[in-house]
Amino acid sequence: MTATQTPPRIRVAGLTKRFGDVTALDGVDLEVGENEFVSIVGASGCGKSTLLSLIAGLDDPTSGTLEAAGVPITGPGRDRGVVFQQATLMPWLTVQQNVEFALRGEPGLSRADRADRAREFIGLVGLDGFESSHPAQLSGGMQQRAALARSLSYGPDVLLMDEPFGALDALTRRTMQELLLEVWEQHRLTVLLVTHDIDEAVVTSDRVVVMSPRPGRVQRIVAVPIPRPRTLASERTAEFRELSDEILGLIHAGA
Ligand SMILES: Nc1ncnc2c1ncn2[C@@H]1O[C@H](COP(=O)(O)OP(=O)(O)OP(=O)(O)O)[C@@H](O)[C@H]1O
């Protein structure tokens, strides 16, 4: 790397994670560029969630290097927003309050600014009119919208998503994929998405990381050269089907 090059947004090198006798990750190397959308796929138990939680700083590696924009990752940070499969909203707060809560501690934001910013992102995810609802009054898809609004509201450089639509019914899932594509077009940021859904990975991503079964290693990285902006209609192209089949084949071959 020369002095003029900026470091990648996320860099993982020689990453190993053991839980007792279980080696979840074994020497994972991965670089994710600024504003790149990368998905991680692979058989159940191959270490996808472990990799994401290490990048989120929610756990420590056994060995290896983890950096965000050249800075070692030593814990969670507001440069990295996280969205999990189950929306982790605070049930006693309204949608508006949940988002505002995430904005507490943002430097230079008054209470009124926080309220405005929260409304802006609630609108962005299509939850206008539900600001005063509590999570229990929302469907699963709406809760994930609120969780997305919350994670985007403080302007993270990286969005880490672990099966964010995995608990949703098929139709809602499709709607959320469309929303994610739209949001990413409007607010380009670096996204790392863990998913079991190969089509979801291909339609959203610039590159798809295929992991080998335990111990998790990077088996192959497949580039997705389908032009952007993409919509779910992009899935109807022959190019899409070929890439999706190739990735499925890689997962099956590794299993
Ligand atoms: N906290 C933990 N303690 C012990 N073992 C763990 C822990 N977290 C993960 N593991 C083990 O590490 C391995 C990788 O788990 P991980 O959840 O990262 O896989 P995954 O690819 O995300 O799986 P899935 O697709 O089923 O969600 C598994 O064998 C799992 O049992």
Residues with pLDDT less than 50, the chain: none
**Cβ 48 under 6 angstroms from ligand 1:** yes
For the Cβ of 45 lying below 6 angstroms from any atom of ligand 1, the answer is: yes
Residue 25 Cα to ligand 1 middle (Å): 9
CA atoms within 13 A on the CB side of 186: 11
pLDDT of residue 85: 86
ipTM of the complex: 0.97
Domain map (residue ranges) of the chain: 1-75+190-255
Check residue 3 and give its pLDDT: 56
How confident is the model at residue 4, as a pLDDT? 67
Instruction: Convert 165-193 to b/e letters by CB count within 10 Å (16 or more is b).
Output: bbbbeeebbbbbbebbbebbeeeebbbbb
The CATH number for 1-75+190-255, chosen from 3.40.50.1220, 3.40.50.300, 3.40.1000.10, 3.50.50.60, is: 3.40.50.300
Q: Report the atom number in ligand 1 closest to the C-alpha of 59.
A: 1
Centre of ligand 1 from the C-alpha of residue 10, in Å: 21
d(CA 234, CA 107): 40
Ligand 1 centre and the CA of 43: distance in Å? 11
Quick one: pLDDT at residue 255? 66
Tokens 């997962």 correspond to what residue?
251
Ligand 1 centroid vs 55 CA: distance in angstroms? 15
Calpha distance 67→9 (Å, rounded) = 8
Measuring from atom 4 of ligand 1, which residue has the nearest CA? 19
Nearest ligand 1 atom to the CA of 50 is: 18
Fill in the amino acid letter for 212.
S
CA dist 45 and 63 (Å) reads 19
Q: Which of 161, 245, 163 is nearest to 197 (CA)?
A: 163
The whole-number pLDDT of residue 5 equals: 79
Q: Could you give the CA distance from residue 73 to residue 139 in angstroms, rounded to a whole number?
A: 34
